[in-house]
């Protein structure tokens, strides 16, 4: 790249230290900055700490004023206001492109686009109520269609979602499959607390049905007497999961809020579970293994492909009935067979390091695509 930095815009509804989209976006912002880019952040609801956390990077903030509710109207206002900001920026930086980690149809680069069809199929399969917000559904469907039509390049976390888009007409050369990277320096085994000394099983997720909170409680009902030394820690935001926990009335269930540094929870866990009915990727699996912790995950979580041996954990398939028994069996097998010594923790960590080196991550992909598109336009 030239000594003068190139400029790129990133569109986000929100940006915070927690949340899958926000954390991946932050990794990409850091990667672009280290690659010599100046980043313009067009964000509606940044967490108060984020400007300070990113203050060491070449970042310019552009506050996009919109509404949180109703979300469909808020999104339309966001697109309108963001387009005005982009138009002004392009007067000075005519080759500047916009990146989105959500369905913003004014972006030319889309990271992590999800399939509405697969999302609806999952909700129907696992008995979740249909979405009764027709305007919001109309907007999401329209935004996805426009993103798929307008974006020059798209990246998808899930093999299944990528194939779904290709089957419905998206040219194969415009859509790549990537993985979300995990910082293996930050997420490394806490060897001062080996697994054999830990007393918790951990699940993180807010939506009770999509994230498998419901079947985790049912599985714990069958297992808690066999493992009196263990507790089930459930980390979530909001009241829905809390209501499930209250109704279950099970012993040794710990309810905890989402926090900026999840290692505080991970480092107490003997086992991590991710029994989701639907995921776009699933950071929890790679973070857990990077910390040396075995994982039980459903096959519906795309990152479950990282679990490649019994030492890493176990993958079970959710079919819509008796899933809690499949989860309980997988948890029991993993607790009984996965090694808890320090060497095994380090081995799991090295597995994630190797896996990431062999796959295209969102950070590598975005830096490569941004530079490639810029060169094409300058030529």
CATH 3.40.50.2000 fits 195-357, yes or no: yes
**pTM, 2 dp:** 0.89
pLDDT of residue 127: 79
pLDDT in tens, 73-113: 999 999 999 999 999 999 999 989 999 999 899 999 999 88
pLDDT in tens, 153-210: 999 999 999 999 999 899 999 999 999 999 999 999 999 999 999 999 999 998 899 9
Q: How far apart are CA 324 and CA 218, in angstroms?
A: 6
Q: How far apart are CA 142 and CA 149, in angstroms?
A: 11
pLDDT in tens, 114-166: 888 898 888 888 877 766 678 888 888 899 999 999 999 999 999 999 999 99
**How large is the average pLDDT for residues 324-342?**
97
Least confident of 10-14, 17-21, 195-199, 298-302: 17-21
pLDDT of residue 353: 98
Round the average pLDDT of the chain to a whole number and report it: 92
Greatest Cα-to-Cα distance within the chain, rounded to the nearest angstrom: 68
Rounded to 10 degrees, what is the CA torsion of 274, 277, 278, 279?
0
pLDDT of residue 115: 87
Pick the CATH number of 6-178+360-378 from 3.40.50.2000, 1.10.10.60, 3.40.50.300, 3.40.50.10470: 3.40.50.2000
Q: How far apart are CA 266 and CA 245, in angstroms?
A: 20
Pairing of strands 200-204, 98-100: unpaired
Whether 223 has a pLDDT exceeding 80, the answer reads: yes
Q: How far apart are CA 11 and CA 40, in angstroms?
A: 9
Residue 176 CB contacts under 8 Å (≥ 6 apart), including other chains: 153, 154, 155, 156, 162, 360, 365
Q: How far apart are CA 43 and CA 26, in angstroms?
A: 12
Written as one string, the DSSP assignment of 291-325 is TT--EEEETTSGGGGG--STTTEEEE---SSSHHH
pLDDT of residue 130: 65
How far, rounded to the nearest angstrom, does the alpha carbon of residue 14 sit from its chain's CA centroid?
14
Using alpha carbons only, what angle is made at residue 337 by residues 334 and 338, rounded to the nearest 5 degrees? 70
Q: How far apart are CA 314 and CA 306, in angstroms?
A: 10
Q: Number of C-alpha atoms within 13 angstroms, CB side, residue 349?
A: 17
pLDDT of residue 2: 47
Least confident of 54-63, 147-156, 323-332: 147-156
Token output for 69:
């509710």
Whether 220 has a pLDDT exceeding 50, the answer reads: yes
Cβ atoms 178, 365 nearer than 8 A = yes
pLDDT of residue 137: 86
Cβ atoms 45, 13 nearer than 8 A = yes
pLDDT of residue 1: 43
CATH 3.40.50.2000 residue spans of the chain: 6-178+360-378, 195-357
pLDDT of residue 18: 78
Cβ atoms 306, 355 nearer than 8 A = yes
**How large is the average pLDDT for residues 231-243?**
92
Residue 379 CB contacts under 8 Å (≥ 6 apart), including other chains: none
């Amino acid at each position: 790249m030239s000594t003068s930095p190139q400029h790129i815009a990133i569109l986000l509804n929100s940006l915070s230290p927690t949340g899958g989209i926000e954390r991946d976006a932050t990794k990409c912002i850091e990667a672009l900055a280290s690659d010599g880019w100046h980043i313009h952040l067009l964000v509606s609801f940044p967490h108060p700490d984020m400007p300070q956390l990113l203050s060491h990077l070449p970042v310019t903030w552009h506050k996009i004023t919109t509404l949180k509710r109703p979300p469909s109207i808020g999104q339309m206002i966001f697109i309108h206001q963001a387009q005005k900001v982009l138009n002004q920026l392009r007067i000075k930086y005519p080759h500047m492109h916009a990146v989105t980690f959500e369905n913003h149809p004014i972006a030319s680069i889309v990271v992590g686009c999800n399939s509405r069809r697969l999302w609806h199929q999952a909700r129907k399969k696992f008995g979740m109520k249909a979405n009764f917000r027709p305007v919001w559904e109309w907007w999401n469907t329209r935004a996805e269609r426009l993103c798929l039509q307008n974006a020059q390049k798209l990246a998808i976390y899930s093999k299944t979602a990528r194939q779904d888009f290709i089957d419905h007409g998206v040219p194969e050369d415009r859509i790549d499959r990537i993985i979300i990277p995990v910082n293996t320096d930050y997420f490394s085994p806490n060897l001062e607390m080996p697994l054999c000394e830990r007393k918790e099983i951990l699940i993180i997720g807010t939506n009770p049905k999509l994230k498998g909170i419901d079947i985790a409680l049912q599985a714990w009902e069958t297992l808690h007497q066999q493992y009196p030394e263990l507790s089930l820690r459930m980390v979530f935001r909001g009241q829905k999961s809390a209501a499930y926990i209250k109704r279950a009335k099970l012993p040794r269930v710990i309810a905890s809020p989402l926090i900026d540094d999840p290692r505080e929870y991970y480092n107490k866990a003997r086992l991590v579970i991710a029994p989701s009915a639907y995921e776009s990727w699933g950071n929890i699996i790679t973070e857990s293994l990077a910390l040396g912790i075995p994982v039980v995950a459903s096959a519906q979580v795309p990152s479950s492909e990282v679990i490649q041996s019994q030492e890493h954990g176990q993958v079970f398939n959710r079919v819509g009935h008796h899933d809690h028994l499949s989860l309980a069996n997988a948890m029991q097998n993993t607790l009984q067979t996965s090694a808890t010594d320090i060497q095994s923790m380090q081995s799991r960590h090295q597995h994630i390091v190797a896996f990431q080196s062999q796959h295209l991550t969102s950070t590598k992909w975005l830096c490569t695509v941004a530079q490639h598109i810029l060169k094409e336009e300058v030529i």
